Amino acid sequence: MGTPPSLAAGELVILGRHPLASNVVLVGEVRRAGAPAVTVAYKPVDGERPLWDFPDGTLAAREVAAARISDLGGFDLVPETVWRDGPAGPGAVQRWIGEVTSLCPTPVAVTPPHAVPAGNLVVLEGEDEGGAPLHLSHPDDPRLRSMAVLDAVLNNSDRKGGHLLLHDGRLWGIDHGVGLSAEPKLRTVLWGWAGEPIPQEDLARLTRLAGALEREDVVAELGVLLTSLEVDALGARAESLLTAGTHPEPSGEWPAIPWPPL
């Protein structure tokens, strides 16, 4: 599957289990002789809980496919992710971002209206449990805008704020297991540019991705991870975004924002 040797090869050693994940996520290290250990998140297929809207046992493969699609388009927004075997069976192994002992900050904010950070785009107005108003917002940042375009291609149905990580000046997106469905399911907190023209840099990435998806080797590679219908739908979404030239808008036929949003 074109997996980088840094994660695909070597011994996968389990350090512990992530305490907040809904599915089994194991924190571990990939150890190779003569090389520094690489901290990873390991998501075995056997640890996936059933979902009503996605086939059983497919989430880990979708994680790997999302990272590959990000690379094919030159988005470079998903950490290195490979499919490999491990102590808990086959699954997705993703390079860990940041320190295991501390959380990376997310750019998405939930604040009272008067405390919305300057320059942020408000995407949701709501209330807390006591009825006080709250706004969900995110910065008008080109990195986030590229992520919004990638999410539209991935048909990401769970882009929470906590799945956006800032580390060493880079933006990363994680947790792509519930994406790449053939049916429209986009749910995201990044609606700040809905209906606006897609920047030229991201149109170029979409063009690069659309071209890659016409290659037989790429179709075959993704076909190991997704159904043929899902691979076809992926290409159709890339072409549709290029034709429209604008960020998608909520359809009204599906919840537009995941819950909880962070």
- Provide the domain count of the chain: 1
Mind listing the pLDDT tens digit for each residue in 161-172? 999 999 999 999
pLDDT at 28: 96
Q: Is residue 9 part of a domain?
A: yes
Cβ 67 vs Cβ 172: under 8 Å = no
| pLDDT at residue 211 tops 80 | yes
Average pLDDT over residues 107-122: 96
Q: What integer is the mean pLDDT of 4-19?
A: 84
Residue 262 within a domain:
no
Mean pLDDT, rounded, for 53-74: 97
pLDDT of residue 11: 95
Averaged pLDDT score across all residues of the chain: 94
Does residue 75 fall inside a structural domain? yes
pLDDT, tens digit, for every residue of 92-103? 999 999 988 888
pLDDT at 4 over 60: no
Predicted confidence (pLDDT) at residue 1 exceeds the cutoff of 50: no
Is 114 within a domain? no
What average pLDDT does range 123-141 have in this prediction? 93
CB-side neighbour CA atoms (13 Å) of 60: 26
Write the DSSP assignment of the chain as a string of letters: ----HHHHSSEEEEEEE-SS-SS--EEEEEE-TTS--EEEEEEEGGGPPP-SSS-TT-HHHHHHHHHHHHHHHT---S--EEEE--TT-SEEEEEPPS-TTSPPP-S-EEE-GGGPPTTEEEEEEEE-TTS-EEEEEEE--HHHHHHHHHHHHHT-S-B-GGGEEEETTEEEE---SS---SS----BS--TTTTSBPPHHHHHHHHHHHHHTTSHHHHHHHHTTS-HHHHHHHHHHHHHHHHH-B-----SSS-SS-SS--
Q: What percent of the chain has pLDDT over 70?
A: 98
Residue 213 belongs to domain spanning:
5-103+140-244
Q: Is the pLDDT of residue 2 over 80?
A: no
Percent above pLDDT 90 for the chain = 85
| Confidence bin at 17 (pLDDT 50/70/90) | confident
pLDDT at 48 over 70: yes
96 phi and psi, to 5 degrees? -75, 135
Rounded to an integer, the average pLDDT of 238-243 is 98
Q: What is the pLDDT of residue 251?
A: 86
User: Which of the pair, 261 or 22, is modelled with greater confidence?
Assistant: 261
- Residue 3: which pLDDT band, with cuts at 50, 70 and 90? very low
**Residue 117 belongs to some domain of the structure:** no
Q: Does residue 28 lie within any of the structural domains? A: yes
> In this predicted structure, what is the pLDDT of residue 232?
98
| pLDDT higher than threshold 70 for residue 5 | no
